[in-house]
């Protein structure tokens, strides 16, 4: 079952990702952008976890941030 993070938890998770993974959020977002064309949220999370050996929470936070930024671009 998927967990739902609060906005504060999401921001805290994003802040820890560079320390835990050695890569900046912008690098991870670019990786998702250049990755396979998956449509479902959980498919993207699963791909990121298995392809890049990330923890579920980190992968979920990256995909959530990617989706938020992508939606914001569409509004502009």
Contact 20, 53 (CB under 8 A): no
Q: Would the pTM of this model clear 0.75, i.e. be above it? A: yes
Q: Which domain holds residue 16?
A: 1-73
pLDDT of residue 61: 95
CA distances from residue 33 to 7, 18, 58, 65 in whole angstroms, order as listed:
22, 18, 16, 12
| Domain count for the chain | 1
pLDDT tens-digit profile of 21-67?
Answer: 999 999 999 999 999 999 999 999 999 999 999 999 999 999 999 99
**pLDDT on residue 3:** 61
Range scoring the smallest mean pLDDT among 10-14, 23-27, 31-35, 71-75: 71-75
pLDDT number for residue 34: 96
């Amino acid at each position: 079952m998927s967990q739902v993070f609060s906005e504060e938890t999401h921001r805290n998770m994003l802040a820890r990702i560079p320390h835990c993974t050695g890569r900046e959020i912008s690098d991870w977002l670019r990786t998702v952008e250049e990755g396979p064309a998956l449509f479902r949220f959980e498919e993207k999370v699963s791909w990121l976890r298995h392809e890049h050996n990330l923890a579920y929470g980190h992968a979920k936070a990256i995909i959530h941030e990617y989706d938020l930024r992508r939606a914001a671009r569409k509004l502009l």
